Amino acid sequence: MTAPTALLAMGPGIAEQLFGARQRARLTALVDTDPGLVAHRLAGPTPEVARALAGAELLITCWGAPPLTAEVLAAAPRLRAVVHAAGSVKHHITPACWERGLRVTSAAGANALPVAEYTLAAILLAGKNVLPAARRYRELRAPHDWRAELAGHGNYRRCVGIVGASRIGRRVIELLRPFDLEVLLFDPYVDAGTAARLGAEQVGLDELCARSRIVSVHAPELPATRHMIGAAQLAAMPDGATLINTSRGSLIDGDALLPELVSGRLNAVLDVTEPEVPPASSPLYDLPNVLLTPHVAGSLGDEIHRLADFALDEVARYASGLPFADPVTPEDLTRRA
């Protein structure tokens, strides 16, 4: 069987992070490609990229992949499939791709694993009130009655609310099973029976916020989910509760959240914000009750090789004439990030 011809298309420096020596060897064994040729743009490409694009049956993409517009597809007459070695495909898969009938797959499931692990750590640390306690310890630098000060905290029968039964949300619920926690779930597409099978109690969003000491957001970024956590939901959260966001900044009304954090009534673990990087003057950088991280919950470092391995598994399926293990359809994009 002749190996399919493939082209890598992603942002500068991404291919070097994605493919280690083992992955590069497997890549070249599976497809006819030049791993040193990476297309950073496909509209108005270099002659070398243009030739590779014209002969490519398969595109392997990752972060920073250029949009596959109708113009680009016209220059790729043999293109049949796109394997995305990252999460969302919304940034580069255009309507023209579906009109062309391209097969698309994504490593979103693989990328969900480190996000869920980050979230688990954040939930358990929030339950112990670790962030404020650590800062206060730094201030006191002396013996103190910590049992008395932290009497209202701990992870026994703590109520945790999961917003969104996405891949990540479901994985978080799975990771929480060994712990003595009460888990609530809000997702308009999940019924009570499904929630129970996942290991959670189905509730409305307002009830989830009112009952949970920790609220973790895992819904997709869609027009309908913009600012789904707004002033009313934040006001419903108990004093001292923690809000965790590893999804997208737009899901939380930042103007409503900031006063709650500045007052100290709520705590937050924010891996994503709106805008993506807060302005230098933002109080979020210095508030003692906020853990602000630079969108690192997803795959990084050696975790990126997991994405490559998943993508190469999908390439192997394609080369063998098998269906993708995790295909993406146009309908999926109305409910996925």
Amino acid code (one letter) for 79 = L
Distance CA 267, CA 292 (A): 11
Beta strand 242-245 pairing with 214-217? parallel
Cα–chain center distance at 217: 11
Nearest alpha-carbon partner for 288 in 264, 310, 307: 264
The first and second tokens of residue 33, run together, are: 């490609």
Residue 4 CB neighbours (<10 A): 18
Q: Looking at the annotation, which residues are catalytic?
A: 248, 276, 295
The answer to whether the beta carbons of residues 155 and 181 sit under 8 Å apart is yes
